[in-house]
Structure 1
Amino acid sequence: MTTIPLSEDMQSAATRAVFSALEAKGGQGCVRFVGGCVRNLLMGKPVSDLDLSTQLTPDETEGALEAAGIRSVPTGKAFGTVTAVIEGNPYEITSLREDVETDGRRAVVKYTTDWAKDALRRDFYLNALYADIDGAVYDPTGEGIADAKAGRVRFIGEAEQRIREDYLRILRFFRFTAGYAREFDAGSLAACVALKDGIDGLSGERIQQEILKTLTLAEPLAAFTAMQVNGIMPHVVPGWQATGDTLPELAAVIALTEEPEIRLIALIDSGVGLSAAALHMCQTRLKWSQRIYNRLRDAGRSLDGLAENAPFARLMYLHGRQATEDAVFLAAAHQKKDASAVAYVLHMLEGLEKPVFPVKGADLIARGIPAGPAVGEALKTIETEWLNHDFSQSVIEAALDAVAKEAKS
């Protein structure tokens, strides 16, 4: 039996309270850590989320937590998951399950008390690992510990069968390989390529969430390059046009920043561009949040302005500070600039205030323009002149004088 030293969070009083609550109902050993936290400990990587599996049903889990005075939230109860919350710390607790029926997007499951059956419905061997509160590791497939220690990501059992159960596993394969493996497993990769059309049936929300998770990796380029080389990216991003076996703009931005949304902008720019038509196509399929969609759009507009040598103050006024900074990263990628050049420009932007248009409707009314549509039209005309003359105060004064003169005539 392999035993590992648990992380501080895994040994905390709160964690032990959750284990004790469930074992009071289901007996010793009815709950174990599962998946990522066990895998990461074996691989010497940091542990973040603590996920638990239990032989109890969701109703029994809720009852056990309530009896122990621990708040529970039915975050995914319909799928077997109840979240325990202690002092703001969440613990996702999922009942052991086995698949009854799958259709490539979702599964019909039934609850079980058999750890091996639960393990066999998971995606990769290194994710089908469990550990008890004392650090004893359980490997029902007999392959998980070896794969974790070897840095190997492989589908459990027959790869194509695993993928047909949920086509999102294709994208997960590339993400987990980039994050945990030394190279792509040939058999698993071949299965992903053979079944790549199945991605088309996934919801846009699931695809875009997987894209963002991949972009948070320290080295996400391996995942997207492999998907590019193997013809998978057109199924991930609609209208994908990039060709060849490299994504130079994305590679450059990844080297410049760890911020996943800037990397996302570079990915979209690399594959389909940031035109209004391309972004509309992406939004229709991938269902980005309005905030992310606006960021993509404004970055594209600001990048166009940089290409036209528009002053930074103008870009900041028209599109905002964040869009201007995003465009700096994109421009640096296109022009093959290094991190020091980006840092220099960003430092300059820190001292640049967004201009404020100094004229209000009341100023025009005070100079004789009657309230109504004429005020709005005059404001727009003056603002355009002000922008075209680099926010010149003299332009404002001249425009206001002209308004007053015209009103008196």
Structure 2
Amino acid sequence: MTRLPDTAWRNRLGLPELLAALGSDDDMVRLVGGVVRDTLLGHRAEDVDCGTRFEPQESSRRIKAAGYKVIPTGIAHGTVTAILPSGPIEVTTLRHDIATNGRHAVVAFTDDWQADAARRDFTINALSAEPRDGTIHDYFGGLEDLANGIVRFIGKPIERIAEDHLRILRFFRFHARFGKGVPDSAALDACMARANDLMALSRERIADELLKLLRVADPAPTVALMLESGIFTPILPEIARDGVERLTRLVDRERVADAAVDPLRRFGALLPQRPAMAAGIAQRLKLSRVATRRLEQGAAGEHDAPRALAYRFGTDIATDIILRGDMPDGELAAAMASLKGWERPRLPVGGGDLIARGLKPGPVVAATLQAIERRWIAEDFPGGDRLDPIVDQELALALRELM
């Protein structure tokens, strides 16, 4: 019998007491979903979720009786959040689907653990564990699939995708994270057959899922598979083979530079390197203004010194340009180090300083300041005695032209 390891998160402050209040001794509550899957793989468990046979009103009452605050985060679908001293825990009443339309489900509460597990998408996500001794319950072969690196739908893939079209993108995300070798053929065939269903989803849901996919260590092989399978055609037809090649190269350069994974940077590498088109795609996906500007500027392919780029565009965009650019790998580490902790300086000369030294107010002041700033940036932002010659030379030029 497989049991959940006794890892640190199982003893986090308040969790044993919460589980006891929800009936852990009587199999009224179990640990469910990703926390079980990730712990079995030895991965860090991000979120701890519980399933319970109690309906939301009763689970809320028990949580309050144990001394914890309850937030009805999704009570219509059976979910409340218990606020423990160590952080929030979602508690969801067991459910089964009454009706689905590809985007939303109408659910009813149940006390049947297997019925609740059956409504999950993949076998590896349908595992549950008893809090008392960690006994794992596996109704659909998820343990074997987890061991073999197979992402497999529960039931018929075509039907599961019809219930929720986002499962197409989730399949590829989970394959990128947990899959080994070739993907499950039945799942892949179903995703290809129903790719057009993605057009019914909101752009926000599509963007969110794609960015989650791009967070995995190396999403490039899976993204290439999605392109070959026609998954992008209905939603992002602009993505092409050269985009996958840029993504592959970016992932390699991130490793060389020891740069943190950034899904938006990776998404920018996938898109055509044309600023207006990148901005248009970002707007279509309803990304934020900051994200849109970053994709637009990152696609421009500017060439300049690292700090000069950061001064013009900000550190994030400068990092995007450098990692996606043609700087030799041997120079990447130094370039990235030059931006670490760097704060945008302020030009230590103003118009008043130039006027005090003889320039008459007017356009010439602004033009001279711009000339000083260009040289100041090009020479890596010198100050004090190193800045004075630049100011003297540009001021002399301006005064000469006025004579």
- Indicate conservation of the 8 Å contact 1:126/1:153, yes or no: yes
* Backbone CA RMSD of aligned residues: 3.0
- Indicate conservation of the 8 Å contact 1:313/1:355, yes or no: no
Shift in alpha-carbon separation, 1:163–1:352, aligned structure 2, 3 A: closer
CA distance in 2, matches of 1:29, 1:350: 51
Does residue 83 in structure 1 map to residue 81 in structure 2?
yes
Deviation at 1:401, TM superposition (A): 6.7
Give the aligned partner of residue 287 of structure 2. 288
Give the aligned partner of residue 251 of structure 2. 254
Partner-residue secondary structure (3-state), 1:74: strand
**2:193 partner amino acid:** A
Shift in alpha-carbon separation, 1:251–1:379, aligned structure 2, 3 A: farther
Deviation at 1:33, TM superposition (A): 0.5
CA distance in 2, matches of 1:170, 1:214: 12
Partner-residue secondary structure (3-state), 2:162: helix
**1:125 partner amino acid:** T
Among 71, 74, 85, the alignment partner of 2:72 is 74
Partner-residue secondary structure (3-state), 1:72: strand
Among 344, 357, 363, the alignment partner of 2:334 is 344
Instruction: Quote the sequence identity (%).
Output: 34
**1:64 partner amino acid:** R
Deviations 1:118-164 (A, max 9, x none): 11111001111111111111123x32222122221111101011111
Give the aligned partner of residue 384 of structure 2. none
Deviation at 1:289, TM superposition (A): 2.7
Among 358, 361, 368, the alignment partner of 1:382 is 368
CA distance in 2, matches of 1:319, 1:190: 43
Deviation at 1:226, TM superposition (A): 1.1
CA distance in 2, matches of 1:136, 1:369: 83
CA distance in 2, matches of 1:81, 1:61: 10
Deviation at 1:270, TM superposition (A): 3.1
CA distance in 2, matches of 1:316, 1:95: 49
**1:29 partner amino acid:** D
**1:343 partner amino acid:** A
CA distance in 1, matches of 2:341, 2:166: 45
Shift in alpha-carbon separation, 1:311–1:2, aligned structure 2, 3 A: closer
Partner-residue secondary structure (3-state), 1:233: coil
Give the aligned partner of residue 382 of structure 2. none
Deviation at 1:387, TM superposition (A): 4.5
Give the aligned partner of residue 220 of structure 1. 219
Partner-residue secondary structure (3-state), 2:30: strand
CA distance in 2, matches of 1:226, 1:113: 40
Give the aligned partner of residue 16 of structure 2. 16
- Indicate conservation of the 8 Å contact 1:174/1:227, yes or no: yes
Deviations 1:15-35 (A, max 9, x none): 2111112128xx721110111
**1:56 partner amino acid:** F
Shift in alpha-carbon separation, 1:361–1:219, aligned structure 2, 3 A: same
Deviations 1:349-403 (A, max 9, x none): 5598745334435446766866xxx5xx555433432355447755644665788
Return 73-82 or 389-398, whichever deviates more. Answer: 389-398
Alignment of 1:52-67 (within 5 A): 52-67=50-65
Deviation at 1:208, TM superposition (A): 1.8
Give the aligned partner of residue 185 of structure 1. 184
Alignment: residue pair count: 387
Q: How does the TM-score come out when normalised to structure 2?
A: 0.85
Deviation at 1:80, TM superposition (A): 2.1
Deviation at 1:406, TM superposition (A): 10
Q: How does the TM-score come out when normalised to structure 1?
A: 0.84
Structure 2: tracts of 5 or more residues without a match: 380-386
CA distance in 1, matches of 2:341, 2:32: 48
- Indicate conservation of the 8 Å contact 1:212/1:264, yes or no: yes
Deviation at 1:319, TM superposition (A): 1.4
CA distance in 1, matches of 2:11, 2:152: 30
Give the aligned partner of residue 318 of structure 2. 324
Give the aligned partner of residue 357 of structure 1. 347
Return 77-86 or 180-189, whichever deviates more. Answer: 77-86
Structure 1: tracts of 5 or more residues without a match: none
Deviations 1:333-357 (A, max 9, x none): xx6x43x431132234559874533
Partner-residue secondary structure (3-state), 1:85: strand
CA distance in 2, matches of 1:297, 1:316: 15
**1:294 partner amino acid:** R
